Amino acid sequence: LVLSAHAAGVPVMFLGGGSNVLVPDEGVPGLVVLNRCRAFRVDPHPEHPRVWAEAGVSLAGLARTLIRQGLDGLTWAVSIPGTVGGAVVGNAGAHGGDMASVVERVTLLLEDGRITDVPAEDLEYGYRHSRLKAAKVAGRLFPIVLAATLRLRWGDAAALRAQADAHLAYRRRTQPSEPSVGSVFRNPPGDYAGRLIDAAGLKGYRVGDVAVSQVHANFIINLGQGTTTDALKLIRIIKERVREQFGVDLEEEIVVTIT
């Protein structure tokens, strides 16, 4: 379906969980595909355990499943929304872990219809970045992540559960409960986007029905009837204020889809 639509010139938008993505208020033209492929297989090798997961698998749900089996590697991801595919593309991370540290290889659908496996080294991983994300930011549909194989390690299930509980408690303390698109900006080298936004006096700053969270300044929350137009205006204001006051150019971590 995706290949046929693309070949016919129909715009295609491919989504997993939809986190870290801003979609225009008027919607998007063409075909929107929600990936609901959620199969996964655990290889319980005594020395080199792995998990193969389709791109539509919930990242946090997979982390919880592995923890119950005494498998570590994704424990840091227990509080992260979204899917394996999106996490692979954006190099999702938290609590000192990230996808770059566990991805072994990724199965990709290419524009010519070929399906190929590529090693993690070919993804050019960086902080909240990959070659795949660069393609999405540039507006390219392909390559599309179909599945990934992740390296794991054995651990104590009870200890992993305690660690996961601590991560979840930390998230509840430090991140807003209101609807949001997630962390808006990448942390600049040697600093934190949230600290800079807070220092610029923007906590609570509101445009329409979206606002900078009082809990964590790197989150823009929806107060009820917020729009993407409001969010984009607020993002521009934040970037301008931080640049004016600190000389730092904040870069978006989220992906903004433009019609």
Question: 169-182 pLDDT, tens per residue?
Answer: 999 999 999 999 89
Residue 173 identity: R
The fold of the 176-256 domain, in CATH, is 3.90.78
For the chain, the average pLDDT equals 95
pLDDT at residue 6 above 70?
Answer: yes
In the chain, CATH 3.90.78.10 covers 176-256
CATH 3.30.465.10 domain extents, the chain: 2-172
Looking at the DSSP bridge assignments, the partners of residue 107 are: 117, 147
Burial of 49 (0-12, 13-18, 19+ CB in 10 A): buried
71-72 and 153-154 beta bridge pairing: antiparallel
Give the mean pLDDT of 4-25: 89
Q: What is the pLDDT of residues 19-39, one digit of tens each?
A: 888 999 998 889 999 999 999
Reply yes or no on whether 253 is catalytic: yes
Got the DSSP string for the chain?
Answer: -HHHHHHTT--EEEESS-TTEE--TT--SSEEEE-----EEEE--SSS-EEEEETTSBHHHHHHHHHHTTEESSGGGTT--SBHHHHHHHT-EETTEEGGGTEEEEEEE-TTS-EEEEEGGGG--BTTB-HHHHHHHTT---SEEEEEEEE-EE--HHHHHHHHHHHHHHHHHHS-SS-EEEE-BPPPTTS-HHHHHHHTT-TT-EETTEEE-SS-TTEEEE-SS--HHHHHHHHHHHHHHHHHHH-----BSSEE---
The yes-or-no verdict on residue 255 having pLDDT over 90 is: no
| Nearest CA among 136, 65, 131, 128 for reference residue 98 | 128
- The residues that bridge with 71 in the sheet, in sequence order, are 154
Question: What does the pLDDT average to over 117-143?
Answer: 94
What mean pLDDT comes out for the span 119-137?
95
pLDDT, tens digit, 9 for 90 and up, residues 44-99: 999 999 999 999 999 999 999 999 999 999 999 999 999 999 999 999 999 999 99
State residue 191's pLDDT score: 98
**Confidence band of 16 (pLDDT split at 50, 70, 90):** confident
Residue in 54, 58, 105, 128 annotated catalytic: 128
Contacts of residue 21, defined as CB under 8 A and 6 or more positions apart, other chains included, come to: 15, 181, 254, 255, 256, 257
What's the CATH code, domain 2-172? 3.30.465.10
Catalytic residue among 54, 79, 180, 253: 253
If one counts every other C-beta atom within 10 angstroms of the C-beta of residue 187, the result is 18
> pLDDT value at position 259?
52
Catalytic residue among 79, 183, 213, 241: 183
Is 111 annotated in the active site?
no
Per-residue pLDDT tens over the stretch 210-242: 999 999 999 999 999 999 999 999 999 999 999
Mean pLDDT of 153-176: 97
pLDDT at 211: 98
Among 99, 59, 51, 55, CA closest to 82: 59
183 is known as an active-site residue: yes
Residues 6 or more apart whose CB falls under 8 angstroms from that of 112 comprise none
